[in-house]
């Protein structure tokens, strides 16, 4: 099939093939790199949010809770619980458009408020923190509503003030026991990992962000490459195709005896060399024809 194509068409087919192969390979590579970058960006945002929640927990535990100790005996205030404060602040933060897709949970093995109860998957994360000594875990999780990307850090009892409510039932505020009962949230120990801070975001956010960037970059690369193909064709047409057509036309006229035409040398490249070679061939042909003509005249005179 290529034999029946002109040089310009062959170059166009070759460049289009290179374009398709290049876009396919670069598309796969870009998809992987951009997905990793998008995941890293989400991780960084999640870690900033997690550090913020940890600061809120610490503030509540060290400054708010001690001021309310006397009042907590008769009237338990959820706002004095670090986990509650962090969760409420995060929900307020989610009202902002930038963070609406993020979710925060302090998944606890034995929480006072069952809202914070770790499910089976989250409990395994907590156990990994306890058994393997890891300080951070991240990955994807499949849920009925779709996959999510999560990042988790261990949640440990670092303040003795936490044990006032969570060590044993007899020392816990009676108002808290009246609110939550005595079945959950006790037996904690200082420096024990009792749960995990988990921030999650729909996996589609990571994938769509990467895909959007891939489409933009591949689009730009495609436009650049198509422009290169057009410019190469223009250059090929002006510097190769047209000069070859002129040489071919002159050669055809010379072959029919029109010796007044000449091969013009318009460049010093291979095409110019070809024109010079044809020009020398034409001169040689003219000289040969003159010798033949003179030889023919001499033979006639001798015969007479």
pLDDT one digit per residue (tens) for the chain, 304 residues:
556 666 777 777 887 888 788 777 877 777 777 777 777 887 888 888 888 888 988 888 888 877 777 776 677 777 778 888 888 888 888 887 778 888 999 999 999 888 889 999 999 999 999 988 888 998 888 888 788 889 999 999 887 777 878 888 888 888 888 888 888 888 888 889 999 999 988 877 667 766 777 777 777 877 887 888 788 888 887 777 787 788 787 778 777 777 767 766 666 777 777 777 877 887 887 787 778 777 765 555 555 5
Lay out the sheet containing 146-156: strands in order across.
Answer: 103-108, 193-202, 146-156, 137-143
Domain match, 32 and 53 both: yes
Domain match, 87 and 34 both: yes
The reply to whether 38 falls in a domain is: yes
Which one of 184, 211, 238 terminates a domain?
Answer: 211
The reply to whether 121 falls in a domain is: yes
The reply to whether 3 falls in a domain is: no
Closest alpha carbon to 179 in 61, 60, 58, 81: 81
Closest alpha carbon to 159 in 49, 52, 60, 48: 60
The number of beta carbons lying within 10 Å of the beta carbon of residue 186 is: 18
pLDDT at 124: 93
The reply to whether 37 falls in a domain is: yes
The reply to whether 5 falls in a domain is: no
The reply to whether 93 falls in a domain is: yes
Which one of 211, 228, 249 terminates a domain?
Answer: 211
Q: Which residues of 218-247 are buried (b: 16+ CB within 10 A; e: fewer)?
A: beebeeebeeebeeebeeeeeebbebeeeb
pLDDT at 302: 57
The reply to whether 164 falls in a domain is: yes
Domain match, 46 and 188 both: yes
Domain match, 192 and 252 both: no
Domain match, 222 and 206 both: no
For residue 277, give both structure tokens.
């070679």
For residue 136, give both structure tokens.
């951070």
Domain match, 108 and 42 both: yes
Domain match, 242 and 163 both: no
pLDDT at 184: 86
For residue 253, give both structure tokens.
């006229």
118 touches 109 (CB < 8 A): yes
Domain match, 18 and 161 both: yes
User: Residue 209 carries which DSSP code?
Assistant: H
Give the domain extent around 127: 10-211
Domain match, 151 and 235 both: no
For residue 145, give both structure tokens.
């509503």
pLDDT at 126: 93
Which one of 167, 193, 211 terminates a domain?
Answer: 211
Helices and strands (DSSP H and E) totals, the chain? 9, 4
User: pTM to 2 decimals?
Assistant: 0.61
Domain match, 50 and 173 both: yes
The reply to whether 2 falls in a domain is: no
Q: How many domains does the chain have?
A: 2
Domain match, 176 and 232 both: no
Domain match, 143 and 102 both: yes
Closest alpha carbon to 181 in 57, 76, 85: 76
How far out from the chain centre does Cα 149 lie? 16
């Amino acid at each position: 099939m290529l034999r029946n194509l002109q040089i310009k068409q062959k170059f166009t087919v070759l460049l289009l093939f290179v374009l398709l192969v290049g876009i396919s390979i670069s598309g796969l590579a870009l998809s992987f790199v951009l997905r990793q970058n998008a995941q890293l960006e989400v991780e960084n945002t999640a870690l900033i949010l997690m550090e913020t929640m940890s600061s809120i927990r610490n503030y509540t535990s060290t400054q708010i809770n001690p001021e309310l100790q006397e009042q907590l005996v008769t009237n338990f205030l959820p706002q004095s619980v670090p986990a509650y404060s962090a969760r409420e602040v995060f929900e307020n933060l989610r009202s902002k458009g930038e963070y609406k897709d993020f979710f925060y949970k302090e998944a606890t093995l034995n929480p006072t408020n069952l809202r914070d109860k770790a499910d089976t998957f989250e409990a395994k994360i907590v156990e990994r923190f306890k058994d393997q000594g890891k300080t951070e875990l991240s990955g994807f999780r499949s849920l009925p509503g779709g996959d999510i990307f999560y990042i988790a850090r261990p949640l440990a009892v670092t303040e003795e003030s936490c044990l006032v409510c969570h060590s044993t039932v007899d020392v816990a505020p009676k108002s808290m026991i009246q609110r939550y009962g005595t079945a959950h949230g006790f037996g904690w120990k200082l420096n024990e990992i009792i749960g995990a801070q988990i921030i999650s975001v729909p996996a589609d956010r990571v994938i769509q962000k990467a895909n959007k960037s891939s489409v933009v970059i591949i689009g730009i690369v495609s436009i650049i490459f198509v422009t290169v193909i057009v410019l190469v064709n223009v250059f090929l047409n002006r510097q190769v195709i047209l000069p070859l057509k002129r040489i071919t036309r002159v050669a055809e006229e010379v072959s029919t005896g029109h010796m007044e035409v000449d091969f013009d040398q318009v460049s010093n490249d291979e095409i110019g060399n070809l024109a010079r070679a044809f020009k020398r061939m034409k001169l040689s042909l003219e000289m040969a024809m003159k010798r033949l003509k003179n030889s023919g005249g001499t033979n006639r005179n001798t015969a007479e």
